[in-house]
Each structure stands twice: as C-alpha cells, then as structure tokens.
Amino acid sequence: MSLPRFELFQPQTLEEACGLLARYPAGEAAILAGGTDLLVNIKRAIIPAHLPRCAGCGPQTGKPLMMVDKTPQCLIALSKIDDLKGIKEEDQGISIGSLTTITQICKSGLIRNKLTALAEGGDNLGSPLVRNRATIGGNICNARPAADMLIPTYALKGILELISPKGKRNIPVEDFITGPGKTIIYSNEILTKIHFPLPGRKSGSSAIKLANRKALEIALVNAAGVLTLDQENRIAQVRIALGAVAPRPIIANRAMEFLLGKEPRKEVFIQAGQIAAAECQPITDHRGSALYRIEMVKVLVKRTLMKTAERAEMEIQI
Amino acid sequence: MKRIINLTVNGIEYEIAVPPHRTLLEILREDLNITGVKQGCGIGDCGACTVLMNGLPVFSCLVLAMEAAGSEIITIEGIADGLNLHPIQKAFVEQGAIQCGFCTPGMVLNAYALIKENPEPTEKEIRQAISGNLCRCTGYQKIVEAVQAAAEEMKLKDRRIEGYSL
C-alpha cells in the first residue's frame, strides 16, 4: 500500500513554510503535521474499499464518501519548525504549539492540572501509537465533528493563532470550524498555536467520550465541560461542548444559561443534560442511531458536569 | 526528488537515498531488509508496523522516511541480546502469547517501551499500551500475561544484578 508520488518540503521556519504554501494553488499543497490523518487520507484514494473507519466513509458501504480524485502534489512538513512545539505558561493562560503531540499534552502536569478536559480528551484519542505522532493542531484543523481535542478546546475557549505572509489573526475556535472538515483557514495560513485562558479559582473541567470501542474509535458522543463556582458555591461560569451530535461541535448555550447561579447538584445536572439534548441534531450511522445519541447526551452532560463540579469543589485548580 | 537521509537502526547508522513518498516501513523492509517489522493495514489501525522512534512506539507505515531522518529506530531485531532472547520475547514464547506471530513484533516493542517507562505496569496499563495493536489469533489474555511475566522477570533480574554489585 504505497503512497502516490509527491514532493515533500521540510521548511525550517514559519516564513519559509508560508512562502512554500503561497507558491502552490489551493488544494495542491497540504500541510503535514503528525500524518496520522493526512497520510491515511492520501492512501485512501488508492484503497478501493476502505474499512468503515473514518468520518469520510459511508455507513453502509464502508466506501469513501469523498473520493480523493487528486492527491496533493506536495506536502509541507512542519516537523522541523521548533517554534510550533511545546506548552507555555503565560500571564493570561496557557498556549500550546500546534505541533505539540497528544502524548506530550497528556503527560504535561500543567495541562492535567489546569486544562484537565484537554488532557482527558487526549487520553481518548486513537491509540498510544497514534498519540505519539498526532498533533493538537492537526486534530483541530481536520475539523471533524467528533474530534477528541476539538471538543475540550471548545469547552476551554481555545483561541487559535493563524499566521500567513500577510500577518497574524486570532480566531476563537467556534468561529474557526464551519462544517465537517471545513474551516475558515486560508490556503496560505498556518495554525501556529492555541491559547487557552485559565479557568480561574474554584474551577474544574473534564471530558468524556462514549464510543463502541476503547481505542482507535470515533466518538458516538463526546462531551466536555468547564465549571467555576462562586464564593457561595453556586455556579458562576459554565461551558458545555458536545461532539458528534451536529455537523460541527456545539456549545450547549441553553443548558449553560439554565445552570448559572444554581447549586452544583445532581438533579440540576440531570435537567441540564435534558436541555442540552434538545440542542443537538445528531444523525444515525453505523456507530449508533440519532435517538441513542440524544439519550447519551443526557448521560454524558450529567457525568461531565458532576466531574467538573467535584474538581471545582476540591480546588484542584488554583 | 530523492534525498539522502541518516537513520540509526538498531544501533547501526545508515545513509540512504529516499524519495519523498516512501514510508519508514518501506525503507526498513525493502531497502534495509529488516523484515521483522510488518505491513498490516497500512493506515494506522493494526500496529503490526510498530517501531520505536527515539524511544516512542509509532506506526512506521504513517511516518515518511524523510520525516524520520536523524532519528534512532529500534525494530524487533534490535531487542534481543545476540542469540539470547529478550525477557519479553522469552515470556511471549513461554506463555503461549504467539500463534501466527504477525502481531508479535509490534506487541513486544510496545511492551518494551511500556516496561522501560513503567517497570511495574498494572494489567490495565498493559492493555492500554497494546490497545493500538491488533491480534487475531490468541486473543489478548496470553499477551497480557506474557508482559506481566516479563516485567516480573526483568525486575528480578535487576535485583540479581544489584545483588552482584553489592
């Protein structure tokens, strides 16, 4: 199962990478990060009947829905650009380079402590072999509605920094994703880092994935939550993100509004789950039916909120 | 366009001319004749192509050879000490964790990386570590038992060596 021929560039700097991108018309050059999706997609064009594995495959036939008729002429690998790697603590939060691997994120004590949902999202991604190569930037730019890092990024209010020869722009993740596999990124832009504001005192976050298997699986439903308590132990701030229940990840706005000012109790969280379920429009596919997904949204929202509240009360995050 | 890359495989340095679209797996098997690493699904599902790249297990079918340039690779051939099997390999044989053997190199390398990082892994940790490797013969129970036995054996061996130095 060889790859089709292409040229590979390994620029050392961001400017060089942007310059290379500008040289090729849109669609002819692809950015290579970890390669655990891109190389599979390039290979998929030459696999006649693909396993029913990726989001791009038909549920009944297992055949690719989007046949790649032309593979990219050239790949631009970002692996040599060290500026894109690593986790940094800043005054106003934490920033993660787009080329940081999922394993590095999962092993970081800083992330586990302060952005727990992101570390838990990473725990659920693919398998250890995938996590050793896959990057957070790649997971976000692929824009799959069930992406394991994307849902926590929604919950934690991630802000994406995009760089092109024309300059820099910062985009909240909700404005970045426009549909399954679709984003507002220009063909000459590169995602350089994701900035996360710190949730603050008495906050907790968590992410839960429901899937048919424990590894190498796409979520049936995934949920991530962030919650902050005030001095009277009432909910001061809350954010719930849901994946695999709409063409792109969603924020359960009505459930969040309902929770504000309430006490973090199980009954309240059950109600929030029911409100969140009404905000979803899932589809039926080979992983599960729309009805089942709706039921599971209720359970997952309740569970993730229970976890976040527990963490907020314990003040793990200071 | 072909480019020359340097690769250290099982302690030996190679200088190889590779085209951009060739994967690390293809270079290892076809150019270097290191065939312990297997081609399975080719899309990162089965783990048969596992190698250790700078100590971390990765799918060699999804790593471009050029992207692996300069790194240190360990394949199943680099695990044994000459003709003596590595304790993990020995445990796989003794515990009946091998049937057709196709998944074994990947399983052993993942166990190797796990035990190196965590000398006393729990059953859950072992199952997690091999969750990216598929076995279609024996099932996973024997494999998990073999890794446990190997970890135990390696711990005892370490103690014996410590005993000597005392």
Are the C-beta atoms of A249 and A222 separated by less than 8 Å? no
Per-domain boundaries in chain B: 3-78, 87-165
Domains belonging to chain A, first-starting first, are: 7-77 (no CATH), 85-197 (3.30.465.10), 203-313 (3.30.390.50)
User: Which chain B residue lies closest to A36 (C-alpha atoms)?
Assistant: B62
Distance CA(A32)–CA(A52), nearest Å, equals 24
Distance CA(A36)–CA(B123), nearest Å, equals 27
C-alpha distance from residue A6 to each of A20, A21, A72 (Å): 14, 15, 7
Are the C-beta atoms of A151 and A241 separated by less than 8 Å? yes
A130–B57 CB contact, under 8 Å: no
Are the C-beta atoms of A206 and A225 separated by less than 8 Å? yes
ipTM for the complex shown: 0.94
How far is the alpha carbon of A42 from chain B, nearest alpha carbon, in Å? Answer: 10
Architecture of domain B87-165: Orthogonal Bundle (1.10)
Distance CA(A303)–CA(A309), nearest Å, equals 10
pLDDT in tens, B114-158: 999 999 999 999 999 999 999 999 789 999 999 999 999 999 887
What does pTM read for this prediction?
A: 0.92
pLDDT in tens, A258-279: 999 999 999 999 999 999 999 9
Distance CA(B89)–CA(B79), nearest Å, equals 9
Homologous superfamily of the B3-78 domain (CATH)? Beta-grasp domain (3.10.20.30)
Average pLDDT, chain A: 91
Q: Least CB-CB distance to A128: which of B19, B39, B131?
A: B131
pLDDT in tens, A52-87: 444 555 555 555 555 555 788 899 999 999 999 999
Question: Does residue A171 surpass a pLDDT of 60?
Answer: yes
Instruction: Say yes or no: do domains B3-78 and B87-165 share a fold.
Output: no
Residues of A in contact with B66 (CB under 8 A): 8, 10, 77
B129–A40 CB contact, under 8 Å: no
